[in-house]
């Protein structure tokens, strides 16, 4: 099939044929779909969804040829040929704004480098929960993959949980720990939250919008305006501006992360996951004593236990699992046994 230059805009927006704004994850048959998919009536004109303005979708072979043309001519935002998305991807002017904004950004480069440490774990967790793998880049948009991130609104951690949502999804917050900073625990909480949002809205874009703005605000817009089309909500400014920008940012982040060289990041030095081991110690233990005895600097020790704050592990908890560098497992086991003996001796003294 030959393409004329005048057909390129239609072909570009024809990409929507493959990535519906409310597509389901093929690996999660138990998740709901919308009773009837809506067309994007705002940012993506109907004539580009149905070329020619007809009521029926074009021939599937035509759709495949449009996609092949876009791939071969580098018009998929830098996605290599054959790399499929499991999050629906729409290329429109809003997404293009963030592709340009993120390109060559030092913050994005640092975030992509940091992602190497956490992505294997995040991908595994998201696979367990049946989530689209492209949703891992929510962490790039939220925090740049930093467990230490804190927003002006007091959202904390890689997944930027506020206190109420964190507690609702089982994360502990007290004087000794803030599990919003625990990479694995917070990732599991984020996966459950995103899955719940999808079950509520039946649309990954609205799930992402709900993650940013809160499910009640998105639900209110759905009910008041009788639409589940995110792009219509964005065009009509029915959601906060931050949320209207959030989905385009997520799409742009996914595209850049899949092929960073095309966007000015040819030589990213990805951090490697750090091998860690877990040891069981008594609750209330002074972790600084444990780190000192293990000959691990406090800063490094906290890199393995980002949730810790204060000097002691949670008081009133019978046991706690500390993470230590993998090469310190033997020494840590010895210290753990010693700490349990000391705990028992203290308990006996108190009973007398």
What distance in Å separates the CA atoms of residue 332 and residue 231, rounded to the nearest whole number?
53
Q: What is the pLDDT of residues 215-238, one digit of tens each?
A: 999 999 999 998 888 888 998 999
> Hey, is 280 helix, strand or coil?
strand
Say which residues have a Cβ less than 8 Å from residue 7's Cβ, sequence separation at least 6. none
Helix/strand/coil (H, E, C) string of 88-136? CCCCCHHHHHHHHHHCCCHHHHHHHHHHHHHHHHHHHHHHHCCCCHHHH
Q: Are residues 92 and 234 in the same domain?
A: yes
Where a domain ends, among 269, 290, 305?
269
- Residue 60: the pLDDT is 54
Of 22, 26, 4, 27, the C-alpha closest to 229 is 22
Where a domain ends, among 241, 269, 297?
269
Where a domain ends, among 269, 295, 311?
269
- Residue 310: the pLDDT is 87
For residues 153 and 45, the model is more confident at 153
Q: Are residues 238 and 107 in the same domain?
A: yes
Of 40-49, 63-72, 154-163, highest mean pLDDT: 154-163
- Residue 333: the pLDDT is 94
Total domains present in the chain: 2
Residue 322 tokens read as 């500390």
Provide, rounded to the nearest whole percent, the portion of the chain with pLDDT above 70.
Answer: 74
Residue 334: C-alpha distances to residues 53, 59, 290, 345 (Å): 73, 68, 11, 17
- The CATH number linked to 248 is 1.10.530.10
Q: Are residues 190 and 337 in the same domain?
A: no
For residues 326 and 28, the model is more confident at 326
User: 281 - beta bridge partners?
Assistant: 320
Q: Are residues 264 and 288 in the same domain?
A: no
- Residue 157: the pLDDT is 97
pLDDT for residue 9 is more than 60? no
Q: Are residues 184 and 295 in the same domain?
A: no
**Mean pLDDT throughout 48-71?**
44
Q: Are residues 81 and 166 in the same domain?
A: yes
What distance in Å separates the CA atoms of residue 251 and residue 215, rounded to the nearest whole number?
20
Q: Are residues 173 and 293 in the same domain?
A: no
Sign of the alpha-carbon dihedral angle for 259, 262, 263, 269? positive
Q: Are residues 325 and 210 in the same domain?
A: no
Q: Which of 159-168, 297-306, 310-319 has the lowest mean pLDDT?
A: 310-319
- The rounded Cα 257 to chain-centroid distance in angstroms is 12
Q: What is the mean pLDDT of the chain?
A: 79
Place of tokens 């949670």: 314
- Residue 144: the pLDDT is 97
Q: Are residues 197 and 327 in the same domain?
A: no
Q: Are residues 254 and 284 in the same domain?
A: no
pLDDT for residue 10 is more than 80? no
- Residue 17: the pLDDT is 34
Q: What is the pLDDT of residues 230-288, one digit of tens each?
A: 888 998 999 999 999 999 999 999 989 988 988 889 889 999 999 999 999 999 999 99
For residues 61 and 166, the model is more confident at 166
Q: Are residues 234 and 289 in the same domain?
A: no
Binned at pLDDT 50, 70 and 90, residue 67 comes out as low
Q: Are residues 23 and 96 in the same domain?
A: yes
Q: Domain range for residue 322?
A: 277-351
């Amino acid at each position: 099939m030959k393409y004329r230059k005048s057909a390129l805009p239609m072909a570009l927006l024809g990409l929507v044929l493959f990535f519906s704004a409310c597509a389901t994850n093929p690996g999660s048959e138990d998740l709901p779909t919308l009773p009837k998919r809506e067309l994007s009536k705002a940012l993506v004109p109907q004539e580009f969804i149905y070329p020619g303005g007809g009521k029926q979708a074009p021939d599937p072979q035509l759709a495949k040829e449009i996609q092949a043309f876009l791939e071969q001519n580098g018009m998929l935002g830098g996605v290599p040929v054959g790399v499929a998305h499991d999050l629906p991807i729409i290329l429109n002017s809003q997404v293009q704004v963030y592709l340009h904004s993120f390109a060559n950004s030092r913050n994005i480069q640092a975030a992509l480098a940091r992602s190497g440490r956490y992505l294997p774990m995040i991908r595994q967790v998201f696979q367990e929960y049946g989530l689209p793998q492209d949703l891992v880049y929510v962490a790039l948009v939220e925090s740049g993959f930093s467990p230490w991130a804190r927003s002006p609104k007091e959202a904390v951690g890689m997944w930027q949980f506020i206190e109420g949502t964190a507690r609702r999804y089982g994360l502990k917050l007290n004087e000794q720990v803030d599990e919003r900073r625990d990479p694995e625990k917070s990732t599991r909480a984020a996966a459950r939250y995103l899955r719940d949002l999808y079950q509520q809205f039946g649309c990954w874009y609205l799930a992402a919008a709900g993650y940013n703005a809160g499910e009640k605000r998105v639900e209110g817009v759905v009910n008041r305006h009788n639409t589940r089309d995110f792009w219509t909500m964005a065009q009509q400014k029915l959601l906060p501006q931050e949320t209207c920008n959030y989905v385009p940012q997520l799409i742009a982040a996914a595209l850049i992360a899949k092929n960073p060289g095309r966007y000015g990041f040819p030589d990213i030095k990805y951090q490697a996951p750090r091998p860690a081991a877990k040891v069981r110690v008594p609750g209330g233990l002074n972790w600084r004593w444990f780190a000192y005895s293990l000959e691990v600097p406090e800063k490094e020790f906290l890199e393995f236990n980002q949730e810790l704050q204060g000097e002691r592990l949670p008081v009133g908890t019978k046991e706690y699992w500390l993470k230590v560098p993998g090469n310190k497992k033997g020494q840590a086991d010895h210290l753990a046994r010693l700490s349990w003996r000391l705990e028992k001796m203290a308990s006996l003294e108190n009973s007398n």
